[in-house]
Amino acid sequence: MTSPSSFDRYRQTRRTEIDAALEAALPTPPACPPLIAEAMRYSLFAGGKRLRPILALAAAEAVVESGHTDTRADDAGMTLAMPAACAVELIHTYSLVHDDLPAMDDDGLRRGRATAHVVYGEGVAILAGDALLTHAFVVLTHRRQSDTPPGFDRRRLRAIARVAEAAGAAGMVGGQVLDLAATGTGPGDADSNRRDGSDEAALREMHERKTGALIGAAAVAGAILAGGDETAVATVDRYATHLGLAFQIVDDILDVEGNASDLGKRAGKDADARKRTYPSIHGLDRSRVLAAEAGEAAREALATAGLAGRLAEIVDWVVSRTS
């Protein structure tokens, strides 16, 4: 049996830390009704890669290790970034709960088990998604003890603004609107909602908003909260833009080539819905090239500021993933 790599051990360690932080952060009865607490946990702890929170922590580590911050230790940077890590995972999970609804993608399987609306009904699933989203900002705004560095509140406000923008109309919500319009399941049409008329540009815009915005916010918020300077934050932002594109291209490829047991969700649904995807526009071979090019662009962005650490390994993880 092949022993786990250093990065595999790193991911597992971070996942364990993130899950513990999420468990500690969630509301429990009697602060909220038992049903909503159960429904929130059902989707949040259904598995998943925890890419976004791991990315937030890795960005915090990278800016500290590179000396692009006044934070003195790696563990201090990660502690400061953990609220952002939890918040982006709460928001990501909310988006999945709502995406799976009959009014959206109408999926009955997510992360290998029945989706929230199948288990709890549509009403509770909607409310669970709402609760996950709003609780993300409870986590982000929770005041730490007196061990926070000077100026931390300014950092936190900046991180909150970035995360909120990524989750809203300019980000994920806008991307979902474009997705609905492109498949004819929402009011309006794709041409009137997108920035220009080309299919490739429209696809990229949808992915930038629906997927890339929160990936970018995760990395940037981690860098900001760890005290990254402007050079580091801008570099992490460029890196995350390319990483988000690589992630979505691979996701599109896996929807064609993957199977439900590996993906934890129904494969082939994009084709069934006649969605624009990278394989449908470029073909599988060209899509693989584009994913690799986006990954290389992410690595090059890191090199410009001497950042690397686990961020470079995350690129390899994203581009080579099979689920």
Is the pLDDT at 142 greater than 90? The verdict is no
Least confident of 3-7, 85-89, 95-99, 199-203: 3-7
More confident residue, 58 or 148: 58
Is the pLDDT at 13 greater than 90? The verdict is yes
Is the pLDDT at 262 greater than 80? The verdict is no
Q: For residue 93, what are the domain limits? A: 6-228
Is the pLDDT at 139 greater than 80? The verdict is yes
Domains in the chain, number: 1
Is the pLDDT at 315 greater than 80? The verdict is yes
Examine residue 12 and state whether it is found in any structural domain, yes or no.
yes
Examine residue 59 and state whether it is found in any structural domain, yes or no.
yes
Q: State the angle between helix axes of 213-225 and 51-65 in degrees (0 to 180), rounded to the nearest 10.
A: 40
Q: What is the CATH number of the domain that holds 129?
A: 1.10.600.10
Examine residue 10 and state whether it is found in any structural domain, yes or no.
yes
More confident residue, 87 or 269: 87
Examine residue 46 and state whether it is found in any structural domain, yes or no.
yes
**Average pLDDT estimate for 132-149:** 86
Examine residue 286 and state whether it is found in any structural domain, yes or no.
no
CA distance 88 to 85: 6
Q: For residue 190, how many other CB atoms are within 10 A of its CB?
A: 19
Instruction: Quote the Cα angle for 281-287-288, to 5°.
Output: 165
Examine residue 315 and state whether it is found in any structural domain, yes or no.
no
Partners of 109 in the β-ladder: 114
List the one residue out of 221, 210, 231, 239 whose CA is nearest residue 310: 239
Identify the pLDDT of residue 2.
46
Examine residue 110 and state whether it is found in any structural domain, yes or no.
yes
Residue indicated by tokens 């989203």: 133
Q: State percent of the chain over pLDDT 70.
A: 87
CA distance 60 to 80: 8
Whole-model pTM: value is 0.91
Identify the pLDDT of residue 197.
55
Residue 199 CA from chain centroid, whole number:
24
Identify the pLDDT of residue 1.
41
For residue range 176-232, what is the model confidence (pLDDT) as tens digits? 999 888 877 656 554 555 555 578 889 999 999 999 999 999 999 999 999 999 999
Residue 169: pLDDT band by 50, 70, 90 thresholds? very high
Is the pLDDT at 74 greater than 70? The verdict is no
Examine residue 290 and state whether it is found in any structural domain, yes or no.
no
CA distance 90 to 53: 10
* Whether the Cβ atoms of residue 65 and residue 228 lie closer than 8 Å to each other: no
